[in-house]
Amino acid sequence: MSEQSSTPDEAQPESFVSHLIELRDRLLRSVIVVLIVFIPAAIFSGKLFTLLAAPMLSALSTEGVMISTEVAGPFLVPLKFAFALSVAIAIPYLLYQIWSFIAPGLYENEKRLAFPLLFSSTILFYCGIAFAYFVVFPLMFSFFPSVAPVGIEVTPDINHYLGFVLKLFFAFGIAFEVPIATILLIKAGVTTREKLAKKRQYVVLGAFVLGMLLTPPDIFSQTMLALPMWLLFELGLIMSKYVGSPPEEDNEGPDDNDDGPAGSAAKGGPAPDKPSPEDDSDEEEIISPAVMPQQARAAQQAEDEKSETEEDFDKLVEELDNLEDITSWVQPEEESDADDTVVSRPMKSVGKKSVKKKSVKKKSVKSKKASKKSVKTKKARKSVKTKTVKKAKKEKKATKS
């Protein structure tokens, strides 16, 4: 039992450690592959650097001469380029290791989308480097020496040249990923194709700003980077038509669901259960002072007020009952009995008859007044009852809210 209870607690740390071990293994494999590619590149580093410097050497007027201002520059600079080249060549394998590490945590639709994007992003990165080397470098390096002042000999340093070239390679490689970024934004639902098309002028401005930040401080390289970024943005908009928009979720509003019992019965579903008054009373009793002290105090005050109103109501009812007892001695039945006795008894004289008739009339008037008072008391009692009931309902609603 102790082993079974300890396994759930140890599952999470073990899974985390296993992920770390897998990450370590994949990093080691990536480093080994980069070193394997670096060994032959280091052997032929001099020839590779000559190929890299060919656009600059062909544009120089001093028969293609470059200098090195550092003592170890002729040895270290080609090795730096060989290492950067080995990393660029190993990019597909590095991306494969990244893909293998994150793929188990993705859904099937994400896997189908991610693999083509990784493959196309690699191809576009290589295309950006090739565009910089074959198109931008010849134009740029032929322009810079031509605008040099008279008496200035252009002999660039190989270390500065390598840093300049690697910056441009990286900038153009990243810039050529614009179609992938556009497709991902549209596919993820962050924006739509129409919104991006309407904000085209801001995209062009952003391309020039990125060109200013990623390239050396000259307007020529900035423009040569910003124009391809804008064209690639347009290409991404065109490709987004065929990739497709994100699936629309069925967001049913409250009006679609709150059709009532008739609507649910018409749709074929069961009618919703009506809440019983017992459930309402249970819901009212759920409030606890420990969890919601303010609501508990308000409920207690409402209950006290309710009990006071009930006591007042009981007092009013007792008073009305007393009034009914006082007026109950006069009833219409006595009037009829009195009339019968007057008719049945023989009258001895006319004077006595007239006196009795007057007394009967007085009694009938009194009985009518008493009946009117009883009706008024009944009406007053009903009005008091309705008022107290309404007041109790309002207080109940207030306590619920």
pLDDT of residue 160: 92
Residue with tokens 């544009």: 59
Q: Which residues of 303-332 are buried (b: 16+ CB within 10 A; e: fewer)?
A: eeeeeeeeeebeebeeebeebeeebeebee
* Distance set, CA 80 to CA 28, 38, 54, 86, 158 (Å): 21, 10, 17, 10, 11
Separation between Cα atoms, residue 310 and residue 297, nearest integer Å: 20
* Distance set, CA 301 to CA 181, 304, 386, 398, 400 (Å): 62, 5, 23, 11, 13
- In tens, the pLDDT along 216-272 reads 777 777 888 888 888 888 888 888 877 655 554 444 444 444 444 444 444 444 444
pLDDT of residue 127: 92
pLDDT of residue 118: 84
pLDDT of residue 319: 73
Separation between Cα atoms, residue 88 and residue 133, nearest integer Å: 14
* Beta carbons of 380 and 320 less than 8 angstroms apart: yes
**What are the DSSP calls for 277-345, one per residue?**
HHHHHHHHHT--TTT-HHHHHHHHHHHHHHHHHHHHHHHHHHHHHHHHHHHTT--HHHHHHHHHHHHHS
Task: List per-block mean pLDDT (blocks of 10 residues) for the chain, which spans 401 residues.
Answer: 47 75 92 95 93 88 78 92 94 89 81 81 91 88 81 86 92 87 81 86 88 77 85 86 57 44 45 47 44 60 73 73 60 46 45 52 64 71 76 76 64
- Nearest alpha-carbon partner for 327 in 380, 249, 383: 380
pLDDT of residue 399: 74
- Nearest alpha-carbon partner for 401 in 314, 287, 264: 287
* Beta carbons of 174 and 214 less than 8 angstroms apart: yes
pLDDT of residue 84: 94
Separation between Cα atoms, residue 308 and residue 198, nearest integer Å: 68
CA 215 to chain centre: 37
Separation between Cα atoms, residue 248 and residue 20, nearest integer Å: 37
Q: 0.75 exceeded by the pTM? A: no
